Amino acid sequence: MKTQPPLFEISHRRAGDLAVEDGVTRRTWGALEDRTRAIAHGLSQQVPGEGSHVALVATNRVEFIEIALGCLRAGLVYTPLKTGWTPTEIASVLTDASTRVIVTDVPAARQAGRDAGLPVIDLDQGFDAWVEAQSLAPLPYALAGRKMTYTSGTTGRPKGVVSSFLGRRPFAESFAASAGMAELTGLPGHGVHLFVSHLFHGAPLTFGLGALARGATIRIVPRWNPENALAMLADGVTSTSMVPTMFRRLLQLPDELRAAFDAPELVNVLHGGEPCPVPVKRAMLEWWGPRLTEYYGFSEGGMTIATSEEWLERPGTVGKARDNQRLLILDEEGGEVPPGVDGTIYVATADGVTFSYLNDEAKTAAAHRGSAFTVGDVGHVDGDGYLFITGRGSDVIVSAGVNIYPAEVESVLSDTDGLTDLAIVGAPDDIRGEQVAAVIVTPDAGMSVEVAVELARSATDRLAGYKRPRLYFHAAALPRDPTGKLLRNALRDQVAEWCSAPSASSLLRIDPAAPDHVVPEVADGATAPTHKRMTK
């Protein structure tokens, strides 16, 4: 019987080389081979049957990588779940995916497993002894596991994405192919790839495993901290993956720390997950140089890539489709629109490869037009096929029958001095249906009115009248999930609650009939500045 080759052979490394570490635990390639092989045997005994489902709910640690690889090598389906979910939220996935076992170090997942009557493999209680008790016999070559991602669920019940291409090839071949994905995105096959995000976050995990397959050493940061991350990036790191929220935090570090940053071995910083405002991206490029590669993609498939050079030629682009994929920008009737015109973004592949949502035929059908599919994002391409994201269809603000896309407004205004974070959402309006509201975060709450005034001035200079925020609110922080993605629905609900409050809580309320006149409307306890006339 043909058996799987060792991991270090696939990745062209030596058994004694360091493969993965997290500051506490270190695994050589030889140890990683033995432990993932043992885990594959142990899980197969626990959940017999190729294709059985494993839920992985774990913090950032070496064992997370071992479990993921063990599932793939055993021919199982695994789903990483967010560690901040409640037992109820976890339980919904366990039922939907017909989970057979949970691997975790999180109390909520332990409880969800007990409540569901499922076996729980606890990473903090006897896990190493369990691994050591398993067989180290070679694994059959034909076994082909896969990851099944559940979408975030910010727009409804989380949905399992069943890819029609993952799990097609034996593990050894798919692992080697993931090295090709790392190469496509510019991740080198040498040095150290630094995990600064949560391991359960889909894209960074996929890219990180690709870097590992290509031969890089994985270094895991247990918890994100901008100052520590900056120091670690300067310590022999060649690549990493980030989200724009991390860029904002890094840019807020003291000037002396930023000026002292020196990372000569850092080759590529891959980023995506949410739109990166043009001013934030430009500031990072000015600081770190052309070492940023932006991607746009989703669990359902499809990806565009923009190198630093491509982005600088076309600020705001998320790149062109790669790997035999084609972008279609369609209007509401399904017709393709010309370059420069916004529409719903669809992705089509040359071989018709697509996906389905687990146990949801209706949502699967709604996402497809033939072999092309969409996740509801809106944008346009230029004459050369470079994509620009305007927003999500579900996020669009419809004011007096006109569509306004929050991502566009956020990108234009996010470079305002004194601003820590910004989100644009729709607020109720009795006449227009919705009006544009800005929710701002500042380092000092006392600065909020002044920053709001500057934002309003900037909006007058840089945005068409119908796109300008009419309401400005201050928040201590924006609601974001553990990956940094804005929970726009939750924020929209909060803004609606503020609007319905007996006493106005907005910092500014601008009269559409006189948009050049800023009238601060300050919440209780704040002091209004002198009313200012805006200069157009």
Q: CA–CA separation, 51 vs 74, rounded Å? A: 9
Partners of residue 101 on adjacent β-strands: 54
CA distance 219 to 196: 9
- Give the residue among 306, 340, 3, 284 at the shortest CA–CA distance from 142: 3
Tokens 């996740």 label which residue?
375
Q: What is the pLDDT of residues 438-448, one digit of tens each?
A: 999 998 888 88
Q: How far is CA 468 from CA 89, 340, 341, 420, 460, in A?
A: 37, 21, 20, 19, 7
pLDDT above 80 (res 401)? no
Which domain-ending residue is among 164, 192, 223?
A: 223
pLDDT of residue 131: 98
pLDDT at 123 over 60: yes
232 within 8 A of 207, measured Cβ to Cβ: no
Lowest mean pLDDT among 23-27, 374-378, 442-446: 442-446
Q: Considering the domain boundaries, does residue 374 fall inside one?
A: no
> What integer pLDDT is reported at residue 299 of this predicted model?
84
Residue 264 in 3-state DSSP?
Answer: coil
Q: Which domain holds residue 457?
A: 396-533
**121, β-bridge pairs:** 103
**Count of C-beta atoms within a 10 Å radius of residue 305:** 21
User: DSSP string covering 282-315, please?
Assistant: HHHHHHH-S-EEEEEE-TTS-EEEE-HHHHHHST
The count of structural domains within the chain is: 2
Please indicate whether residue 220 or residue 50 has the higher confidence score (pLDDT): 220
Q: Assess if residue 369 is contained within a domain.
A: no
3-state secondary structure of 454: helix
Contacting residues for 436 by C-beta, under 8 A, at least 6 apart: 397, 399, 404, 409, 424, 426, 427, 467, 468, 469, 470, 471
C-alpha closest to that of 414 among 463, 376, 381, 465: 463
pLDDT at 156: 53
Is the model more confident about 494 or about 213?
A: 213
The predicted-structure confidence for 274-314, as pLDDT tens digits, reads as follows 778 898 899 999 999 999 999 998 888 889 999 999 999 99
Consecutive H or E run containing 355: strand 355-357
Lookup: tokens for 21: 């570490």
433 vs 372, residue with greater confidence: 372
In a domain? residue 390 = no
* Burial class of residue 309 in the structure, from the number of CB atoms within 10 Å of its CB (0-12 exposed, 13-18 middle, 19+ buried): exposed
pLDDT over threshold 90, residue 121:
yes
Q: State which of 223, 245, 266 marks the end of a domain.
A: 223
Neighbours of 105 (CB within 10 A): 19
| CATH code assigned at 470 | 3.30.300.30
Residue 339 lies in a domain: no
> Does the pLDDT of residue 125 top 70, yes or no?
yes
Average pLDDT over residues 226-232: 96
- Given a cut of 70, whether residue 160 has pLDDT beyond it is yes
Please check whether residue 401 lies inside any domain of the structure: yes
What is the Cα–Cα distance from 442 to 475, expressed in whole angstroms? 8
Domain end marker among 192, 223, 254:
223
Say how many residues make up the chain. 536
CA-to-CA separations, 114 to 76, 81, 83, in angstroms, rounded: 22, 17, 17
**Is residue 82 included in any domain, yes or no?**
yes
Range 486-495 contact pairs with CB under 8 angstroms and sequence separation of 24 or more: 486/274, 486/423, 487/154, 488/154, 488/392, 488/395, 488/406, 488/423, 488/425, 489/154, 489/155, 490/154, 491/423, 491/425, 491/439, 492/425, 492/426, 494/439, 495/425, 495/426, 495/427, 495/437, 495/439, 495/471
pLDDT at 195 over 60: yes
- Strands 402-404, 397-399: pairing is antiparallel
Asked if 93 and 131 count as a contact pair (C-beta separation under 8 A), the reply is no
Q: Is residue 472 part of a domain?
A: yes
Average pLDDT (440-458) is 89
> Residue 173 maps to which CATH number?
3.40.50.980
- Which tens digits make up the pLDDT trace of 308-332? 999 999 999 999 998 788 999 999 8
Can you give the pLDDT at residue 534?
Answer: 30
Q: What is the pLDDT of residue 467?
A: 87
**Which has more pLDDT, 24 or 1?**
24
Structural contact between residues 391 and 377, judged by C-beta atoms closer than 8 angstroms: yes
**Looking at the domain assignment, is residue 510 inside a domain?**
yes
- Which of 145-154, 170-179, 287-296, 451-460 is predicted least confidently? 145-154
Q: CB atoms < 10 A from the CB of 110, how many?
A: 19
Contact criterion met (CB below 8 Å) for 58 and 64: yes
Of 38-42, 171-175, 458-462, the one with minimum mean pLDDT is 458-462
Burial 243-280 (b: 16+ CB within 10 A, else e): bbbbbbbbeeeeeeeeeeeebeebbbbbbbbbbbbbbb
Res. 502 pLDDT band, cuts 50 70 90: low
